[in-house]
């Protein structure tokens, strides 16, 4: 047998096929816990990933002018765009590589490796000497962040009690916009004329992420490996020890003997197993996941990455004032998931996910109509976008929640990576290119039709979710998708 825990929490039995199984109540013990300081630590130490991503994305746009005027780098506008693409490409590649490794080697090992890569790469970005080194370090920074997405989302969903999983996941994903606000403010301060030498301000701006990352690297020392990952890989004694430690930290009584159990056996998971699960066992869940991820990626990237262009071209907002318009936009994006999140755990996943996608699409359609007829100013346009993305941010965050909890534990990180990569390829790359071209025409009606396309895609996603969505609220992850190690070959 692969291990027997102290006491009576885990029991061995022999499956009728002859394979050795063990029964454990670890999932039920984790889900029964009240919220405690341990869970707050998990959020602080792991949830920082989204803040770092928001920081990096916003900094890249905010310091673009400084990179062009840098006496050392002297980047062209085309090279600035290529460097931004390098970051996205790195994030996709990092998600796929580190997602696979996270499922094989464990959550804790990988979320430390990916954070370490991010720290080194973003610090190196601040020391770039030419275009090649800058683009290379942006690629590696993206790879670290992409890897963080898979390791972090997996670990958080597996450590947080089921009744808090929805609101917690949404709030963490929405914290991207705290990073966006920090990036905007940091750039405004550090790039003030006369404050720092021309070639120093942008380097200090990239150093913000490295400083935050160092603090988080220390906090992660106190976050254990996921007991759920340990149990499905046969490390049952270690899993039991981690759960007992968490129970002591939270301060709960020993578990009752009648908690639900799951029967598992140690088995290796191959890539073909993941493909079979996605395409054969859960094709409807795969359709929902891809639709939600792709539509939100198009919706978000198309508008956010052209935000400054629209304000400058149609409302004559100076470049050095763009950051102040990003702040209310970031606030709407942050408070949407934070305030709506609890309803995803109480009213339910299907109505809330479908509802936020539908409301986002309808509000964007109304905004497009007002924009096309010239009824908006820079201020009212920002208010409109902030309102749209109050709901759209919750919708986008719920897409990551959905793909994380819809598939078996042994392939959870890989599933997140696959859908993130596919969604980014389908929506995140096409959206900015399409809207950049539409803005270049200078025609309001053309841009409005682009917004109408984004609106239609969100409404389609709402319909798909309503028809095929999964009611995962307050359910154990093992109940939503049985582990591969609980099944006979």
Q: What averages of pLDDT result for each successive group of 10 residues across the chain (489 residues)? A: 40 48 91 95 88 81 76 81 84 93 93 93 92 93 91 92 95 89 80 77 84 88 94 91 95 90 80 81 94 90 74 81 81 95 96 98 94 92 94 95 93 92 77 73 84 93 97 95 77
Q: Which domains does the chain have, with CATH numbers?
A: 32-223 (1.20.1250.20), 269-482 (1.20.1250.20)
Cβ–Cβ under 8 Å, residues 28 and 476 = yes
Cβ–Cβ under 8 Å, residues 177 and 396 = no
Cβ–Cβ under 8 Å, residues 162 and 31 = yes
Cα-based angle 396, 150, 60 (whole degrees, multiple of 5): 65
Beta bridge partners of residue 22, listed in sequence order? 12, 264
φ/ψ region of 210 (left if φ > 0, alpha if ψ in -120 to 50, else beta) reads alpha
Cα-based angle 301, 62, 213 (whole degrees, multiple of 5): 85
- Which positions ≥6 away from 340 have C-beta within 8 Å? 170, 352, 356, 391, 394
Instruction: Specify the pLDDT at position 305.
Output: 66
Cβ–Cβ under 8 Å, residues 39 and 160 = yes
Model-level pTM greater than 0.85?
yes
Instruction: Specify the pLDDT at position 407.
Output: 93
Q: Which two tokens stand for residue 332?
A: 């709407």
* Cα–Cα distance for residue pair 295/298, rounded to 1 Å: 5
- Which positions ≥6 away from 265 have C-beta within 8 Å? 15, 19, 20, 21, 22, 485, 486
User: Which residue in 67, 74, 51 sits closest to 138, CA to CA?
Assistant: 67
Cβ–Cβ under 8 Å, residues 422 and 294 = yes
Instruction: Specify the pLDDT at position 488.
Output: 52
- Which positions ≥6 away from 365 have C-beta within 8 Å? 451, 452, 455
Residues written for the chain: 489
Pairing assessment for the beta strands 262-264 and 10-14 based on DSSP bridges: unpaired
Instruction: With H, G, I as helix, E, B as strand and everything else as coil, classify residue 225.
Output: coil
Question: Which whole-number Å values give the CA distances from 325 to 187, 277, 320, in the listed order?
Answer: 13, 44, 10
User: Which residue in 263, 247, 229 sits closest to 156, CA to CA?
Assistant: 229
User: Which residue in 473, 211, 239, 248 sits closest to 341, CA to CA?
Assistant: 473
Question: Which whole-number Å values give the CA distances from 38 to 42, 46, 212, in the listed order?
Answer: 6, 12, 21
Q: Cα torsion at 158, 164, 166, 169 (round to 10°)?
A: -60
Largest Cα–Cα distance of the chain, in whole Å? 77
Instruction: Specify the pLDDT at position 199.
Output: 80
Q: Cα torsion at 334, 335, 337, 341 (round to 10°)?
A: 150
Q: How far is CA 448 from the centre of its chain?
A: 28
Q: Which two tokens stand for residue 61?
A: 């746009």
Place of tokens 């917690």: 168
């Amino acid at each position: 047998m692969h291990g027997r825990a102290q006491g009576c929490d885990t029991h061995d039995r022999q499956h009728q096929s002859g394979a050795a199984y063990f029964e454990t109540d670890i999932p039920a013990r984790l889900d029964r816990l009240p919220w405690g300081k341990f869970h707050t630590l998990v959020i602080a130490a792991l949830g920082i990933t989204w803040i770092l991503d928001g920081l990096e994305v916003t900094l890249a746009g905010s310091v673009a002018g400084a990179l062009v005027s840098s006496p050392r780098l002297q980047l062209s506008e085309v090279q600035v765009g290529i460097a931004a693409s390098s970051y996205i490409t790195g994030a996709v590649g990092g998600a796929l590589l580190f997602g696979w490794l996270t499922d094989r080697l464990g959550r804790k090992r990988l979320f430390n490796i990916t954070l370490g890569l991010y720290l080194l790469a973003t610090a190196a970005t601040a020391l770039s000497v030419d275009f090649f080194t800058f683009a290379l370090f942006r690629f590696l920074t993206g790879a670290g962040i992409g890897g963080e997405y898979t390791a972090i989302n997996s670990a958080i969903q597996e450590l947080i009690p089921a009744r808090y999983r929805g609101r917690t996941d949404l709030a963490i994903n929405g914290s991207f916009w705290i990073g966006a606000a920090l990036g905007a403010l940091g750039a405004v301060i550090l790039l003030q004329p006369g404050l720092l030498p021309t070639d120093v301000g942008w380097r200090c701006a990239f150093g913000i992420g490295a400083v935050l990352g160092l603090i988080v690297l220390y906090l992660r020392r106190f976050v254990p490996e996921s007991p759920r990952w340990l149990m499905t890989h046969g490390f049952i004694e270690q899993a039991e020890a981690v759960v007992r430690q968490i129970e002591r930290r939270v301060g709960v009584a020993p578990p009752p003997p009648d908690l639900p159990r799951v029967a598992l056996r140690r088995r290796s998971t191959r890539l073909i197993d993941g493909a079979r699960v996605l395409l054969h066992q859960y094709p409807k869940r795969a359709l929902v996941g891809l639709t939600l991820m792709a539509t939100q990626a198009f919706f978000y990237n198309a508008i956010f990455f052209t935000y400054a262009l629209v304000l400058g071209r149609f409302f004559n907002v100076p470049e050095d004032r763009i950051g102040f318009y990003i702040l209310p936009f970031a606030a709407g994006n942050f408070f949407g998931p934070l305030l709506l999140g609890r309803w995803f755990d109480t009213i339910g996943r299907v109505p809330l996910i479908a509802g936020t996608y539908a409301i986002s699409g309808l509000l964007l359609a109304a905004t497009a109509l007002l924009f096309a007829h010239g009824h908006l100013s820079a201020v009212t346009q920002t208010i409109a976008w902030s309102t749209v993305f109050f709901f759209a941010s919750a919708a986008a965050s719920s897409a990551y929640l959905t793909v994380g909890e819809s598939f078996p534990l042994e392939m959870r990180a890989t599933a997140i990576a696959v859908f993130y990569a596919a969604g980014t390829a389908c929506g995140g790359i096409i959206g900015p290119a399409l809207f950049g071209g539409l803005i270049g025409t200078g025609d309001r009606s053309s841009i409005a039709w682009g917004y109408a396309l984004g609106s239609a895609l969100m409404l389609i996603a709402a319909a798909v979710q309503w028809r095929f969505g999964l009611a995962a609220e307050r359910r154990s992850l093992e109940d939503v998708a049985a582990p591969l190690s609980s099944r006979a070959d």
